[in-house]
Amino acid sequence: MVRKRKARRGKKGNGKKNNVRLITKPKETISEIIKEPAFPQVIAIVSGKGGVGKTTTTANIGSVVSNKFEKKVLVIDGNVTTSNLGLQLGFLYPPVTLHDVLDGTITAKQSTYVHKSGLHVIPASLSVERDARYNEMSRAIDMLRVKYDLIIIDGAAGVGSEVKAAMRAADAILVITVPEIPTITASVKIIETAKKMKVPIAGIIVNRVKRKKHEISLSNIERVCHSPILAVIPEDNKVSESMNAKEPVVIFSPNSPASLAYQRLSSLIMGMKHRTGFFQSFLEKVYRIKHCKSKK
Protein backbone atom coordinates (compact mmCIF):
# COMPACT_ATOMS: atom_id res chain seq x y z
CA MET A 1 0.00 0.00 0.00
CA VAL A 2 2.78 2.40 1.04
CA ARG A 3 4.77 1.43 -2.04
CA LYS A 4 1.75 2.09 -4.25
CA ARG A 5 1.26 5.53 -2.76
CA LYS A 6 4.95 6.37 -3.21
CA ALA A 7 4.82 5.22 -6.82
CA ARG A 8 1.82 7.43 -7.45
CA ARG A 9 3.58 10.42 -5.87
CA GLY A 10 6.68 9.72 -7.94
CA LYS A 11 4.62 9.75 -11.12
CA LYS A 12 3.05 13.07 -10.21
CA GLY A 13 6.32 14.79 -9.50
CA ASN A 14 8.37 13.76 -12.53
CA GLY A 15 7.65 16.88 -14.60
CA LYS A 16 5.69 15.16 -17.39
CA LYS A 17 3.89 17.23 -20.02
CA ASN A 18 0.63 17.98 -18.27
CA ASN A 19 2.08 18.23 -14.83
CA VAL A 20 1.19 21.54 -13.23
CA ARG A 21 4.22 23.35 -11.96
CA LEU A 22 3.29 26.87 -11.13
CA ILE A 23 5.77 29.67 -10.62
CA THR A 24 3.33 31.25 -8.19
CA LYS A 25 3.23 29.61 -4.82
CA PRO A 26 -0.30 29.52 -3.42
CA LYS A 27 0.66 31.57 -0.39
CA GLU A 28 1.61 34.55 -2.52
CA THR A 29 -0.89 37.36 -2.82
CA ILE A 30 -1.24 39.74 -5.70
CA SER A 31 0.34 42.54 -3.70
CA GLU A 32 3.37 40.36 -3.07
CA ILE A 33 3.63 39.66 -6.78
CA ILE A 34 3.28 43.16 -8.15
CA LYS A 35 4.94 44.93 -5.16
CA GLU A 36 3.70 48.38 -6.27
CA PRO A 37 1.11 49.57 -5.35
CA ALA A 38 0.75 47.65 -2.13
CA PHE A 39 -2.85 46.84 -2.92
CA PRO A 40 -4.24 46.91 -6.45
CA GLN A 41 -7.51 48.69 -5.90
CA VAL A 42 -8.35 48.96 -9.59
CA ILE A 43 -7.86 45.85 -11.70
CA ALA A 44 -8.44 45.63 -15.45
CA ILE A 45 -9.30 42.23 -16.85
CA VAL A 46 -7.96 41.93 -20.38
CA SER A 47 -7.25 39.30 -23.01
CA GLY A 48 -5.57 38.99 -26.37
CA LYS A 49 -8.67 37.44 -27.94
CA GLY A 50 -12.39 37.83 -27.31
CA GLY A 51 -14.76 35.24 -25.89
CA VAL A 52 -12.28 33.79 -23.40
CA GLY A 53 -14.08 34.73 -20.18
CA LYS A 54 -13.24 38.33 -19.24
CA THR A 55 -16.81 39.33 -18.45
CA THR A 56 -17.52 36.06 -16.65
CA THR A 57 -14.39 36.51 -14.54
CA THR A 58 -15.18 40.16 -13.76
CA ALA A 59 -18.69 39.31 -12.57
CA ASN A 60 -17.57 36.34 -10.51
CA ILE A 61 -14.59 37.90 -8.73
CA GLY A 62 -16.77 40.94 -8.08
CA SER A 63 -19.52 38.81 -6.57
CA VAL A 64 -17.24 36.81 -4.29
CA VAL A 65 -15.45 39.89 -2.96
CA SER A 66 -18.71 41.77 -2.50
CA ASN A 67 -20.82 38.93 -1.13
CA LYS A 68 -18.49 36.62 0.69
CA PHE A 69 -15.83 39.07 1.81
CA GLU A 70 -18.36 41.89 2.33
CA LYS A 71 -16.22 44.53 0.62
CA LYS A 72 -17.44 47.43 -1.47
CA VAL A 73 -16.97 46.37 -5.07
CA LEU A 74 -17.72 48.08 -8.36
CA VAL A 75 -17.51 46.37 -11.75
CA ILE A 76 -17.31 48.56 -14.84
CA ASP A 77 -17.96 47.56 -18.42
CA GLY A 78 -14.80 48.93 -19.97
CA ASN A 79 -15.47 47.01 -23.17
CA VAL A 80 -17.25 50.03 -24.57
CA THR A 81 -17.54 48.92 -28.19
CA THR A 82 -18.86 45.40 -27.58
CA SER A 83 -20.23 45.71 -24.09
CA ASN A 84 -21.97 42.83 -22.31
CA LEU A 85 -21.24 42.99 -18.57
CA GLY A 86 -24.63 44.62 -17.98
CA LEU A 87 -26.32 41.90 -20.04
CA GLN A 88 -24.66 39.13 -18.03
CA LEU A 89 -25.94 40.72 -14.84
CA GLY A 90 -29.47 41.38 -16.08
CA PHE A 91 -29.30 45.12 -16.85
CA LEU A 92 -30.75 44.83 -20.33
CA TYR A 93 -31.66 48.42 -21.19
CA PRO A 94 -29.84 50.67 -18.71
CA PRO A 95 -31.10 54.23 -19.28
CA VAL A 96 -27.73 55.75 -18.42
CA THR A 97 -24.35 54.14 -18.91
CA LEU A 98 -20.58 54.57 -18.77
CA HIS A 99 -20.85 56.31 -22.15
CA ASP A 100 -22.74 59.17 -20.46
CA VAL A 101 -20.13 59.34 -17.70
CA LEU A 102 -17.32 59.55 -20.24
CA ASP A 103 -19.26 62.25 -22.10
CA GLY A 104 -19.39 64.20 -18.85
CA THR A 105 -23.20 64.46 -18.89
CA ILE A 106 -23.74 62.52 -15.63
CA THR A 107 -21.64 61.45 -12.66
CA ALA A 108 -20.40 57.90 -12.21
CA LYS A 109 -22.68 57.58 -9.19
CA GLN A 110 -25.72 58.32 -11.35
CA SER A 111 -24.83 55.47 -13.70
CA THR A 112 -24.20 52.91 -10.93
CA TYR A 113 -26.70 50.06 -10.63
CA VAL A 114 -26.92 47.55 -7.80
CA HIS A 115 -27.18 43.86 -8.70
CA LYS A 116 -29.28 41.69 -6.40
CA SER A 117 -26.02 40.19 -5.11
CA GLY A 118 -25.03 43.61 -3.75
CA LEU A 119 -22.43 44.15 -6.46
CA HIS A 120 -22.28 47.69 -7.90
CA VAL A 121 -22.23 47.84 -11.69
CA ILE A 122 -21.61 50.53 -14.29
CA PRO A 123 -22.76 49.07 -17.62
CA ALA A 124 -21.84 50.46 -21.03
CA SER A 125 -24.24 51.36 -23.81
CA LEU A 126 -25.28 48.56 -26.17
CA SER A 127 -25.90 50.97 -29.02
CA VAL A 128 -23.57 50.47 -31.98
CA GLU A 129 -23.95 54.12 -32.91
CA ARG A 130 -22.51 55.59 -29.74
CA ASP A 131 -18.85 56.52 -29.61
CA ALA A 132 -17.17 56.42 -26.25
CA ARG A 133 -14.63 58.94 -25.04
CA TYR A 134 -12.64 56.16 -23.41
CA ASN A 135 -9.66 58.40 -22.81
CA GLU A 136 -11.73 59.86 -19.99
CA MET A 137 -11.81 56.48 -18.22
CA SER A 138 -8.87 57.12 -15.85
CA ARG A 139 -10.38 60.39 -14.68
CA ALA A 140 -13.81 58.86 -14.11
CA ILE A 141 -12.40 55.87 -12.22
CA ASP A 142 -10.02 57.91 -10.09
CA MET A 143 -13.01 59.77 -8.65
CA LEU A 144 -14.55 56.46 -7.53
CA ARG A 145 -11.51 55.17 -5.65
CA VAL A 146 -12.56 56.65 -2.32
CA LYS A 147 -15.86 54.76 -2.39
CA TYR A 148 -14.75 51.21 -3.14
CA ASP A 149 -12.39 48.56 -1.81
CA LEU A 150 -12.08 47.02 -5.26
CA ILE A 151 -12.94 48.26 -8.77
CA ILE A 152 -12.77 45.78 -11.64
CA ILE A 153 -12.78 46.94 -15.25
CA ASP A 154 -14.06 44.39 -17.73
CA GLY A 155 -11.72 45.25 -20.59
CA ALA A 156 -11.85 44.69 -24.32
CA ALA A 157 -9.78 42.16 -26.27
CA GLY A 158 -6.62 42.97 -28.20
CA VAL A 159 -4.18 45.83 -27.87
CA GLY A 160 -6.21 48.72 -29.30
CA SER A 161 -6.75 52.11 -27.70
CA GLU A 162 -9.85 50.93 -25.85
CA VAL A 163 -7.83 48.28 -24.01
CA LYS A 164 -5.00 50.71 -23.38
CA ALA A 165 -7.45 53.16 -21.79
CA ALA A 166 -8.62 50.46 -19.36
CA MET A 167 -5.03 49.43 -18.60
CA ARG A 168 -4.05 53.05 -17.98
CA ALA A 169 -6.90 53.44 -15.49
CA ALA A 170 -5.86 50.32 -13.55
CA ASP A 171 -3.28 49.61 -10.85
CA ALA A 172 -2.71 46.14 -12.30
CA ILE A 173 -4.05 43.85 -15.00
CA LEU A 174 -5.16 40.25 -15.04
CA VAL A 175 -4.76 38.49 -18.38
CA ILE A 176 -7.32 35.84 -19.25
CA THR A 177 -6.45 33.10 -21.68
CA VAL A 178 -7.63 29.67 -22.71
CA PRO A 179 -5.08 26.86 -23.17
CA GLU A 180 -4.91 27.18 -26.97
CA ILE A 181 -2.03 28.48 -29.10
CA PRO A 182 -3.77 31.43 -30.88
CA THR A 183 -5.09 32.88 -27.63
CA ILE A 184 -1.81 32.38 -25.80
CA THR A 185 0.07 34.10 -28.64
CA ALA A 186 -2.35 37.01 -28.38
CA SER A 187 -1.84 37.04 -24.59
CA VAL A 188 1.91 37.49 -25.08
CA LYS A 189 1.15 40.60 -27.15
CA ILE A 190 -1.00 42.12 -24.46
CA ILE A 191 1.58 41.32 -21.78
CA GLU A 192 4.29 42.99 -23.86
CA THR A 193 2.04 46.02 -24.39
CA ALA A 194 1.40 46.29 -20.65
CA LYS A 195 5.12 46.06 -19.94
CA LYS A 196 5.80 48.88 -22.42
CA MET A 197 3.10 50.95 -20.74
CA LYS A 198 4.60 50.07 -17.33
CA VAL A 199 1.28 48.68 -16.11
CA PRO A 200 1.89 45.94 -13.50
CA ILE A 201 0.76 42.47 -14.56
CA ALA A 202 -0.76 40.65 -11.60
CA GLY A 203 -0.85 37.37 -13.49
CA ILE A 204 -2.65 35.07 -15.86
CA ILE A 205 -5.94 33.25 -15.44
CA VAL A 206 -6.31 30.15 -17.57
CA ASN A 207 -9.99 29.61 -18.25
CA ARG A 208 -12.05 26.77 -19.72
CA VAL A 209 -9.47 24.15 -18.84
CA LYS A 210 -10.61 20.63 -19.67
CA ARG A 211 -7.29 18.98 -18.81
CA LYS A 212 -7.18 17.26 -22.17
CA LYS A 213 -3.86 16.11 -23.58
CA HIS A 214 -4.09 18.49 -26.55
CA GLU A 215 -4.28 21.56 -24.31
CA ILE A 216 -1.14 23.64 -23.83
CA SER A 217 0.28 22.81 -20.41
CA LEU A 218 0.21 25.39 -17.64
CA SER A 219 3.97 25.39 -17.26
CA ASN A 220 4.35 26.15 -20.98
CA ILE A 221 1.85 29.00 -20.71
CA GLU A 222 3.85 30.51 -17.84
CA ARG A 223 7.06 30.03 -19.78
CA VAL A 224 5.94 31.84 -22.94
CA CYS A 225 4.03 34.57 -21.11
CA HIS A 226 6.74 35.18 -18.48
CA SER A 227 3.98 35.76 -15.95
CA PRO A 228 2.60 33.64 -13.12
CA ILE A 229 -0.67 31.77 -13.45
CA LEU A 230 -2.89 32.84 -10.58
CA ALA A 231 -5.85 30.59 -11.25
CA VAL A 232 -7.07 27.77 -13.41
CA ILE A 233 -10.80 27.88 -14.06
CA PRO A 234 -12.21 24.61 -15.32
CA GLU A 235 -14.70 24.24 -18.17
CA ASP A 236 -18.03 24.14 -16.39
CA ASN A 237 -21.54 23.93 -17.90
CA LYS A 238 -22.89 25.78 -14.88
CA VAL A 239 -21.23 28.93 -16.25
CA SER A 240 -23.51 28.98 -19.32
CA GLU A 241 -26.52 28.06 -17.18
CA SER A 242 -25.74 30.94 -14.82
CA MET A 243 -25.57 33.26 -17.82
CA ASN A 244 -29.20 32.47 -18.64
CA ALA A 245 -30.16 33.13 -15.03
CA LYS A 246 -28.35 36.54 -15.24
CA GLU A 247 -26.35 35.58 -12.20
CA PRO A 248 -22.63 35.00 -11.68
CA VAL A 249 -21.95 31.27 -11.33
CA VAL A 250 -20.59 31.76 -7.79
CA ILE A 251 -24.13 32.69 -6.78
CA PHE A 252 -26.04 30.44 -9.16
CA SER A 253 -24.07 27.31 -8.26
CA PRO A 254 -21.55 28.09 -5.49
CA ASN A 255 -20.13 24.57 -5.29
CA SER A 256 -19.59 24.02 -9.00
CA PRO A 257 -15.96 23.56 -10.16
CA ALA A 258 -15.67 27.05 -11.68
CA SER A 259 -17.20 28.66 -8.58
CA LEU A 260 -14.69 27.02 -6.27
CA ALA A 261 -11.85 28.21 -8.51
CA TYR A 262 -13.25 31.77 -8.53
CA GLN A 263 -13.47 31.75 -4.74
CA ARG A 264 -9.83 30.71 -4.48
CA LEU A 265 -8.78 33.40 -6.98
CA SER A 266 -10.74 36.10 -5.17
CA SER A 267 -8.98 35.27 -1.89
CA LEU A 268 -5.66 35.60 -3.66
CA ILE A 269 -6.61 38.97 -5.13
CA MET A 270 -7.74 40.34 -1.79
CA GLY A 271 -4.74 38.85 0.03
CA MET A 272 -7.07 36.84 2.24
CA LYS A 273 -6.60 33.33 3.48
CA HIS A 274 -8.72 30.95 1.44
CA ARG A 275 -11.06 29.09 3.73
CA THR A 276 -13.04 26.10 2.55
CA GLY A 277 -15.50 24.12 4.57
CA PHE A 278 -15.26 20.34 4.75
CA PHE A 279 -17.82 19.91 1.95
CA GLN A 280 -16.08 22.32 -0.42
CA SER A 281 -12.62 20.82 0.05
CA PHE A 282 -14.16 17.37 -0.48
CA LEU A 283 -15.69 18.64 -3.74
CA GLU A 284 -12.40 20.16 -4.87
CA LYS A 285 -10.73 16.76 -4.40
CA VAL A 286 -13.49 15.01 -6.35
CA TYR A 287 -13.18 17.50 -9.23
CA ARG A 288 -9.41 17.06 -9.27
CA ILE A 289 -9.74 13.28 -9.57
CA LYS A 290 -12.34 13.68 -12.32
CA HIS A 291 -10.01 16.02 -14.20
CA CYS A 292 -7.11 13.60 -13.94
CA LYS A 293 -9.29 10.88 -15.43
CA SER A 294 -10.42 13.13 -18.31
CA LYS A 295 -6.79 13.66 -19.39
CA LYS A 296 -6.83 10.27 -21.07
Could you tell me the smallest distance in angstroms from the CB atom of residue 245 to ligand ADP?
A: 12
The reply to whether 90 sits near ligand ADP by the rule CB under 6 A is: no
Which residues within the stretch 217-246 sit at the binding site for ligand ADP (CB under 6 A)? Answer: 233, 235-236, 239-240, 243
Could you tell me the smallest distance in angstroms from the CB atom of residue 282 to Mg ion?
A: 33
Binding-site size for ligand ADP (CB under 6 A) equals 18
Q: Is the dihedral of CA 71, 76, 78, 79 positive or negative?
A: positive
x/- track of binding to Mg ion for residues 77-96 (CB under 5 A): -------x------------
Which residues within the stretch 134-193 sit at the binding site for ligand ADP (CB under 6 A)? Answer: none
Residue 53 interacts with, from Mg ion, ligand ADP, none (CB under 5-8 Å by kind): ligand ADP
The reply to whether 207 sits near ligand ADP by the rule CB under 6 A is: yes
Our CB check for Mg ion shows the closer of 57 and 256 to be 57
Could you tell me the smallest distance in angstroms from the CB atom of residue 57 to Mg ion?
A: 9
The reply to whether 258 sits near ligand ADP by the rule CB under 6 A is: yes
x/- track of binding to Mg ion for residues 186-225 (CB under 5 A): ----------------------------------------
DSSP string for residues in the chain: -HHHHHHHHHHHTS--TT----SS-TT--HHHHH-SSSS--EEEEEESSSSSSHHHHHHHHHHIIIIIS---EEEEE---SS--HHHHTT--S-SS-HHHHHHTSS-TGGG-EE-TTS-EEE-----TT----GGGHHHHHHTTGGG-SEEEEEEEESSSHHHHHHHHH-SEEEEEE-SSHHHHHHHHHHHHHHHHHT--EEEEEEEEE---TTSPPHHHHHHHHTS-EEEEEEP-HHHHHHHHTTS-HHHHSTTSHHHHHHHHHHHHHHT------HHHHHHHHHHHHHHHHHT-
Among 55, 67, 242, 267, binds Mg ion (CB under 5 A): 55
Could you tell me the smallest distance in angstroms from the CB atom of residue 156 to ligand ADP?
A: 9
Among 56, 125, 187, 266, binds ligand ADP (CB under 6 A): 56
For residues 5 and 8, what is the distance between their CA atoms, to the nearest angstrom? Answer: 5
The reply to whether 47 sits near Mg ion by the rule CB under 5 A is: no
Provide the binding-site residues for ligand ADP, judged by CB under 6 A. 47, 50-56, 84, 207-208, 233, 235-236, 239-240, 243, 258
Interface residue list for Mg ion (CB under 5 A): 54-55, 84
